[in-house]
Structure 1
Amino acid sequence: MRVAGVGLSCMDIYENLGRSYPTGNSVDFVIHLSRLGADTSMVSVVGTDDYGRQMAGVLRREGVDISHLHVAEGRTAMFRMNLNGNDRVHKEKIEGVMVRFALTDEDIEFIAGHDCVHTNFSGRVTGSLPAFKDRGLLTVFDFSTRVFKEEAELALPYIDYAFFSYEQEDDFIKEYMRWAQRLGPRAVIVTLGEQGSLAYDGTRFYREGIVAAERVVNTVGAGDSFCAGFMYGVFQGMTLQNCLLSGAEVASAVVARFEPY
């Protein structure tokens, strides 16, 4: 299974702690899948600064193909972060070279050589979703907390697995999942924090709890790691129920660490 992460690559910087790490939804996703044995690539852009070199170094060390990790003059994208207990707080986003990121024809040809592609709105490639579908790619999209129909309905017809984050299981999110799945995805998955996760495939809902961590250090990356664990289950032919459990197991290990992988 060849998997491409496409879009945002950035640094999370905790200035008050003197710590930072390379990240991004698709970056975390492909790192976790690489560790699980998948053949992975990252298509994005970094700057000519030390952070860009750090991003490339981490991805290379994790076995991720960076042949299409572009380097542009300027600063690598970053988020200034803080921790409230063990919950992340985004203070400021600096887009840097990501503001000019766009896929080239060569990038699309490269991505088309994969079996699966992962991206999100921050990846700046939603306009390429029809091309991914035309090429027969299994497309995974992380909507995060953006449960807005006006945004989602433009992307959902081109997506196979749609991931959302929400705070609780209620009538709103269950009806939203039904609506979203009718637009095209094979399954709609929602992570619910400490309440676990839900999946809907057009026939029934599947529910799974969390896998308790020995300790919770930082919740950054929990959703991305869950997504990686879930999709690993899909690649292995697991049932949706077991895919939810696989996602919970990977996420449990991540929240016990400071870095998101």
Structure 2
Amino acid sequence: MKLITVGDNCMDVYQQIGKAFPGGNPVNVAVYLRRLGHDVNYIGVVGNDNYGNIMLNALKEKGIGVSHVHQIPGETARSMVDIVEGDRVFGDYFEGVMKDFSLSEDDLSFIAQHDLLHTAYWGETDPYLKQIKEGGTQICYDFADKPEDPKVKALIPFVDYALFSFQQDDTATRSFMKRTQALGPKQVIVTLGKQGSLVFDGKEFTACGVEQVDVVDTMGAGDSFIAGYLAGIAEGKPILECMKMGTKNAAVTLGYSGAW
């Protein structure tokens, strides 16, 4: 199965330690998929500043295909981050050249050569999902903690694997998952923080707990879960095994600073 991730990237700038790490949901998922042994391409945009060069070089070093990453005049997106009791706290965000991101016909033709695409809420890919879906590429979309956002109903018919973040496994969460899955996705996948994860496939719910680890930094843990889950899909694994792969991959990321 040929995999591609598309959308936002940014440099996560940790003011406390004076360091910056490449990040962004689609970028992180690509890197974590590669860590699991899968070839993957990434499409996005970076500036021609130092951060843009750092991002491109880091992706190349990780073995990510970057032939369709656009480097244009301007500044690369960046987020200011603090660590409070092991958890990340985001400060100011500078969008930079991401505000100008769009997919060309060449990009769309390249995407059509792939079996599964991952993108996310801030990825600026929404206008293209219908065309991508009609082209035969399956779509995984991370709606983050935005279940009530109008774009959910607008985009969900084009999504095969819909991801959300919730606080707990309760009646309201399961009811939302059922309603959402009925609108088109093969699976609705919900991450629940320390409570693990939950998946509904139209027939039954599957739950999976977390691995107990010493948390250094939660940056990228959710994206690691997504990558592990998608790796399982690419390998034809059953749902529970996909969830376990995601959980194990997230546990690795929790043990070090920065997304990767």
Indicate the TM-score class for this superposition, using the shorter chain for normalisation.
over 0.9
Distance 1:161 1:245 in 2: 17
Question: Given the alignment of the two structures, is residue 250 of structure 1 paired with residue 256 of structure 2, yes or no?
Answer: no
Match of 1:177 in 2: 177
Question: Given the alignment of the two structures, is residue 83 of structure 1 paired with residue 83 of structure 2, yes or no?
Answer: yes
Distance 2:228 2:29 in 1: 9
| Mean CA deviation greater in 83-92 or 199-208 | 83-92
Contact 2:121 2:144 in 1 (8 A): no
Match of 1:105 in 2: 105
Match of 2:48 in 1: 48
Distance 1:39 1:113 in 2: 13
Contact 2:145 2:164 in 1 (8 A): yes
Q: How does 1:61-80 map to 2 (within 5 A)?
A: 61-80=61-80
What's the CA shift string for 1:45-102, capped at 9, x where partnerless? 0001111001001110111111111011110001111111111111111000001111
Match of 1:240 in 2: 239
Match of 1:134 in 2: 134
Match of 2:191 in 1: 191
Q: What are structure 1's unaligned runs of at least 5 residues?
A: none
1:150 Cα deviation after fit: 2.3
Match of 2:203 in 1: 203
Distance 1:30 1:151 in 2: 24
Contact 2:41 2:66 in 1 (8 A): yes
Question: Given the alignment of the two structures, is residue 167 of structure 1 paired with residue 167 of structure 2, yes or no?
Answer: yes
1:16 Cα deviation after fit: 2.1
So what's the TM-score if we normalise by structure 1?
A: 0.97
So what's the TM-score if we normalise by structure 2?
A: 0.98
Match of 1:96 in 2: 96
Please tell me the residue identity of whatever aligns with 1:136: G
Match of 1:151 in 2: 151
Distance 2:220 2:178 in 1: 26
Runs of 4 or more off by more than 6 Å in structure 1?
Answer: none
Match of 1:59 in 2: 59
Distance 2:220 2:250 in 1: 8
Please tell me the residue identity of whatever aligns with 2:251: S
Distance 2:131 2:151 in 1: 19
What's the CA shift string for 1:164-203, capped at 9, x where partnerless? 1111111111111001100111100001011010000000
Percent of paired sites with the same residue? 38
Match of 2:226 in 1: 227
Distance 1:35 1:17 in 2: 26
1:38 Cα deviation after fit: 1.6
What SS class does the counterpart of residue 117 from structure 1 fall into? Answer: strand
1:17 Cα deviation after fit: 1.4
Match of 2:116 in 1: 116
Q: What is the RMSD computed on CA atoms of the aligned residues? A: 0.9
1:9 Cα deviation after fit: 1.0
| Mean CA deviation greater in 73-82 or 140-149 | 140-149
1:207 Cα deviation after fit: 0.4
Match of 1:216 in 2: 215
1:149 Cα deviation after fit: 5.3
